Amino acid sequence: MSDNNIDKIVVQFKPRYMMTNFNAFGYCKNDTIEIRKDLSLPVKLSILTHEFYHYFDKKSKFREIRAILAQLVYPIVGFIWIIVLSLNRDRIELWKKRIFK
């Protein structure tokens, strides 16, 4: 998955009746991702992950299954990477200052 085109993506939060696919929680078409406005924030974030995966996934076989699995895996992988990237002297000092004010 490449992030070469990520700057082109437009995310729109819309009422259900204005969604391209009325029965969907989210929808990805071309450079636009639509998310239903009436969903809770955790659901919106999960659907956004799902639709981002669709945006970059150009294969047709098992596409929906891969997008569903991305909703489970990417937040965990992202969290682990944040921890790994934070293990440097500057970040540790920053966190010490924030925690032990």
Please, what is the end-to-end C-alpha distance for the chain in angstroms? 41
Kindly tell me if the per-residue pLDDT of 1 is higher than 60: no
If you average pLDDT over residues 25-29, what whole number do you get?
A: 92
Q: Which of 4-8, 71-75, 81-85 has the lowest mean pLDDT?
A: 4-8
Residue type, position 82, single letter: I
Write down the pLDDT at residue 51.
94
d(CA 83, CA 88): 10
Domain locations in the chain?
6-74
Residue 92 has pLDDT above 90, yes or no: no
Record the pTM: 0.75
- The Cα–Cα gap between 3 and 26 comes to 20
Model confidence at 77: pLDDT above 70: yes
33-56 confidence digits (pLDDT tens): 999 999 999 999 999 999 999 998
Mean pLDDT over each residue of the chain, to the nearest integer: 88
Q: From residue 21, give the alpha-carbon distance in Å to each of 24, 27, 29, 50, 100.
A: 6, 7, 10, 15, 49
More confident call, 85 vs 36: 36
